[in-house]
Structure 1
Amino acid sequence: MSALRFDDWDMPAAPAATRAMPGAPAPAGTAALAPAAPAGGEAAPSAPPSLAPVNAADKRIVNGKTDINQLAPFKYPWAWEFFLKANRNHWTPLEIGMAQDVHDYHHKLTGAERHVFSNVLAYLTTSDILAMRNIGLAVMEKMSAPELQIYQARQVYEEALHTWTYQHCIESIGLDQQEIYNRYRVVPEIHGKIRLASQRLERVMRSDFDLANRDALHEFALSYFFFAVVFEGCWFYNGFTPIFALQRRGLMKGTAEQLQYIMRDEVLHCAFGIRVVRELLKEENLALAPDALRTLWDEAEAAEAAYAGYILREPILGYNAELHVQQFRFIANRRARQVGVAEPFPGAENVLPWLDEQANLRKEKNFFETRVTEYQTGGALAWD
């Protein structure tokens, strides 16, 4: 049997005699293929006029007038660097053993700890699907510089990878998938965070959302601020913390390591989003309305507090709902400073000083809160 060829997938291969390369002489006994002469002997139509070259300085975050298909020269070289860094951090959940986690979950965790663990996974897996759809359907489509879109294409893949990771943990431990995946619908405190995120992002997902309108542009900037700063920069960061609290005591270490790999991706997502927001506000001479930001922060804090009250309705050793909410406020202030807006919770303290160390695979540096380390592709990662 002959080997399957790429072009066999779509249609039968043409007879060998007709598959001559362009410009090659026709095989003996066949007529050379030539364009058909126009009817009536008319002259062939002239070539379309050429287009003006793209000037990189004319690129914009949104509402750009340059060719979206022309990558370089870059106006935003930092976006390309984000793409290169993301590709150095390539991994799959199958690289991390989960056997000890199976034993821990069924034989070592308390009922309260199992409640925390399963609900954190239930929230995270739904959140990453929402993030994947938001980037793929709303943000990428509105970015008008290809170097921005290329990083976001990688981000879409990473959100799918994260969802696979949560699924791998759920399946490995033997949790009821039908029940776990429905919790975001039936548990009000989980549903509240998902509903708020959907409300903040839903309108700007529309393809006819007109960013030439200043009010719509402000709404888009505020929605993207919510997505990058609150959803990814605060909620995701806080969302991993209960699992790291278990890992700190030697429990569920495989799942925690999976989340550490995910956090490497999330630090880039958050940092990229913050950079985009800052550039967008500067480029469009736009300021986020303080009252709108206040409402956004208050809604986010209320949803996080309700969520913490549910997943930590019984405190676990070294961690409780109050610590969870206080840490959210501390991280929210840090993210606000990075964007250049007022701190929403003045005076909030870092109540989990161990988190900066715990959030790293090998403790050399806090890759979420400082710079991203250099990576190697594949399973082996180099730390500098």
Structure 2
Amino acid sequence: MSIVTESSVKVPDSILDPGLCLTLRPMRYPVFFEMFKDGIRNTWTVEEVDFSTDLADLRAKLTPAERHLIQRLVAFFATGDSIVSNNLVLNLYRHINSPEARLYLSRQLFEEAVHVQFYLTLLDNYIPDPAARAEAFAAVENIPSIAKKAQFCMKWMDSIQQLDTLKTEEERRQFLLNLICFAGCIEGLFFFAAFAYVYFLRSKGLLHGLATGTNWVFRDESCHLEFAFEVVKTVRTQHPHLFDKTMEEQVIAMLKEAVDCEAQFAEDLLSGGVAGLSLKDMREYLQYVADARLQRLGISAVFGSKNPFPFMDLQDVQELTNFFERRVSAYQVAVQGEVTFHDEF
């Protein structure tokens, strides 16, 4: 009888090699395991969010234009994280052949489920009328600005839906474009634009419950970005030839299309005229974030835009820092450490 030792276990040469690697020892990608453990320490629940003051704000403090903005925003939230969850299960988990990374993806899927519950709770609280709520849940079918964003997501999801394994360089490029789209465009641009609207209202002292929950979602999404970009970095080290001029041009085109999709959504959200927010500033912010995503991928900025929103500079550092200091009275899992932010956020 032969004994399998750690040194005799064959591990894939590449993180995108076909197969099912189950070997956690020796650990080839410890950075993903550390990200998984950080995710566990970052646990929060929807039940901790207090929406009581939000309902008073919606009734008495928000203008009709601001209420329209919020209704459209939660309608997007209702489907956005579900789309991401499907891509995690159907595409990313299948092809990222690293048990450490798959541990993290399992954790991310749980976090996306919590986000879906959070947005479900928002809809139930913010839109009490059953017919209006049903319309919000069907936003991808009946709200053109949200349908356009969903179509953008599905285009990249469908691009690798039928790939059981990544056998060729072209298939690996397709996978990378999917991963970059979902990290850089959907989580890294669509969601961060949504956060900007929330933090704008918070800067006016409105919707504290929404802002509190968004702080925690924001932290989760920031970790998701870091994981995805670390996978891209790993693939780039293992397959540098995949990142050629054509790939760079495709990524730039993708980000430009995402900016246009989100700008159309902004036209819808701000159609009633929200004092303090302009379409010009929103597009400037979108371009600023898109440049940051490109630079994170080692691609030069294409827009040269600056952040027009002072309220997005620090993202309520005190509130987020306290995330790591609070005890069980506020969170189910206490976390130790420091929060750091990237300038591009």
Normalised to the residue count of structure 1, the TM-score between the two structures is 0.79
* Offset from partner CA, 1:198-217 (integer Å, 9 cap, x none): 10121213352x41211111
Name the CA shift for 1:374/1:343 in 2 (closer, same or farther; >3 Å): farther
- Residue from 106, 115, 120 that aligns with 2:68: 115
- Quote the residue 1:298 is aligned against: 256
Distance 2:318 2:273 in 1: 26
Distance in 2 between residues matched to 1:303 and 1:236, nearest whole Å? 12
C-alpha displacement of 1:136: 1.2
Q: Partners of 1:79 and 1:300 in 2: how far apart?
A: 28
1:69 corresponds to 2:69: no
The answer to whether the 8 A contact 1:116-1:312 is kept is yes
Q: 1:87 to 1:100 in 2, by over 3 A?
A: same
Residue matched to 1:283: 238
Relative to structure 2, which stretch is displaced further, 228-237 or 353-362? 353-362
SS for the counterpart of 1:184 is helix
Does the Cα contact within 8 Å between 1:56 and 1:75 map onto a contact in 2? no
Which structure 2 residues correspond to residues 13-28 of structure 1 after superposition, within 5 A?
none
1:313 is aligned to 2:296: no
Shift of 1:359: 4.8
Q: Secondary structure at the match of 2:33?
A: helix
Q: 1:360, 1:179 → 2: CA distance?
A: 36
Letter in 1 for 2:143: V
Q: CA deviation at 1:173?
A: 2.8
Residues 334-371 of structure 1: CA deviation (Å, up to 9, x unaligned): 121112122232x2111113212235452659x9xxxx
Higher Rg: 1
Q: Deviations over 1:31-74 (max 9, x none)?
A: xxxxxxxxxxxxxxxx7x66675558745321066x62222221
Work out whether residues 54 and 207 of structure 2, in 8 Å CA contact, stay in contact via their aligned partners in 1: yes
CA contact (8 A) 2:18 2:166 kept: no
Superposed counterparts of 1:129-144, under 5 Å: 129-144=82-97
Structure 1 distance, partners of 2:50, 2:101, is 35
| 1:162 aligned onto 2:118 | no
Q: Does 1:190 align with 2:146?
A: yes
* Contact kept in structure 2, 1:221 and 1:277, CA below 8 Å: yes
Name the amino acid aligned to 2:200.
A
- Would the aligned equivalents of 2:65 and 2:273 in 1 still touch at CA under 8 Å? yes
- SS class of match (1:75): coil
Once the two structures are superposed, what CA deviation does each residue of 1:145-197 show, in whole Å capped at 9, x if it has no partner?
10010000111111111010011111123433212111221111111011111
Structure 2: gaps of 5 or more residues: 339-345
Name the aligned partner's letter for residue 300 of structure 1: A
Moved more, 151-160 or 281-290: 281-290
Please, what TM-score do these two structures have when normalized by structure 2? 0.88
Q: Is the contact made by 2:16 and 2:166 (CA closer than 8 Å) also made in structure 1?
A: yes
Q: Does 1:357 align with 2:311?
A: no
Give the distance between the partners of 1:298 and 1:355, measured in 2 at CA: 22
User: Distance in 1 between the 2:225 and 2:151 partners?
Assistant: 21
Letter in 2 for 1:322: K
Cα distance between partner residues in 2 of 1:147 and 1:374: 28
**Which residue, 297, 305, 308 being the options, matches 1:339?**
297
Work out the CA distance in 1 between the residues paired with 2:134 and 2:112. 21
Of Structure 1 and Structure 2, which has the larger fraction of its residues in helix? Answer: 2
* The one of 5, 14, 27 aligned to 1:60: 14
Q: Does 1:251 align with 2:209?
A: no
Asked if residue 211 in structure 1 is aligned to residue 166 in structure 2, the reply is yes
Residue identity matched to 1:116: L
Give the Cα separation in 2 of the matches to 1:64 and 1:219.
Answer: 15
Structure 1 gap segments, 5+ residues each: 1-46, 368-372
Distance 1:90 1:118, change over 3 A: same
* Structure 2 residue corresponding to 1:225, chosen from 180, 183, 193: 180
Deviations 1:299-353 (A, max 9, x none): 11211111111111133232222222211111111121112122232x2111113
Give yes or no for contact 2:18–2:167 (8 Å, CA) kept in 1. Answer: no
Deviation at 1:105? 0.7
- Are the aligned partners of 2:42 and 2:333 in contact in 1 as well (CA < 8 Å)? no
- The one of the two structures with greater contact order (alpha-carbon pairs below 8 A, sep at least 6) is 2
1:93 Cα deviation after fit: 1.1
Give the equivalent residue in structure 2 for 1:328. Answer: 286
The offset of 1:382, in angstroms, is 5.3
In the alignment, which of 152, 157, 166 is matched to residue 105 of structure 2?
Answer: 152
Q: Secondary structure at the match of 1:267?
A: helix
| Alignment CA distance shift 1:211-1:113 (3 Å) | same
Q: Tell me if the contact between 1:189 and 1:306 (Cα under 8 Å) persists in the aligned partners.
A: yes
